[in-house]
Amino acid sequence: MSELDEPEDPSDIWYACPPDEVPAYRMLMQGDVVVLDSGPVCVVSHACSMRRGVGLHPTQIVAPVLERTNTLWRGDYDWMPLPELAMAEVRAVAASLRELSSVATADLETGRRVASMSEVGIQLLQQRMAHHLTRVSIELTTLAEHSAPVLMEVNLHEEWVEALGEDSEPDFHAFLDADDRRLRKLMLEPQTRFNAQSVVRQEIKRRRRAPRRERLAGEDATARDGG
């Protein structure tokens, strides 16, 4: 049986994990751990298939998060280890890839998201999911390249909303879609992906400065009018 990869440090799989909180404005993403009324689940829908346009599909595939001590990275291929994630009184947990089910996206969005995976964690989850379903071991570099555009969009979306507020979310999608989706197309190609990232970050800075410039211009006009 093929050997799969494991993280250099168990904590490397997490973007946010208790006691840290997942930012509320971060998009729902593969690898998120959400506590539902029925219990905790790990979102395993592929990062590139979770969305339909700028929105989410109405359902997502999840794996239940169960108590399981000493889950091995090299072995236990029907499980996704979730190291350092303590759930209430349960000291060690893992996601059971044999017990996949479909849940409503709305339930995931209203559930309590307790952890979110890093890009490394997402790639390791994708590798285990592919191996569980096909018994084929896919290189992490291959998985990383296919997921890179959507993961970049998720990170840029978080930066945009954090800097400009939740009301700015539609503007983010409109900015990526402008000029016949030019920026989205740039993100698809490795050689232009980071150019798109730079453009988005420059736009965030421009929009953050704009209210201050408008305020200063108003103060100048008031001063000239003798106010």
The per-residue pLDDT for range 165-174, each reduced to its tens digit, is 999 999 999 9
Nearest CA among 133, 144, 152, 156 for reference residue 202: 156
What local confidence, expressed as pLDDT, does residue 3 receive? 82
What local confidence, expressed as pLDDT, does residue 92 receive? 84
Q: How high does pLDDT run on average in the chain? A: 90
pLDDT at position 220 over 80: no
β-pairing, 55-56 vs 59-67, is unpaired
pLDDT at position 207 over 90: yes
Contact predicate 27/158, CB 8 Å: yes
Structure token pair of residue 29: 């993403």
Contact predicate 122/31, CB 8 Å: yes
Q: Which residues pair with 55 in a beta bridge?
A: 52
Tell me, yes or no, if the pTM score tops 0.85: yes
pLDDT at position 194 over 90: yes
Between 16 and 216, residue with greater pLDDT: 16
pLDDT at position 14 over 80: yes
* Sign (positive or negative) of CA dihedral 199, 200, 204, 210: positive
Across 202-206, average pLDDT: 96
What local confidence, expressed as pLDDT, does residue 75 receive? 83
What local confidence, expressed as pLDDT, does residue 192 receive? 97
Q: Which residues pair with 168 in a beta bridge?
A: none
What local confidence, expressed as pLDDT, does residue 88 receive? 65
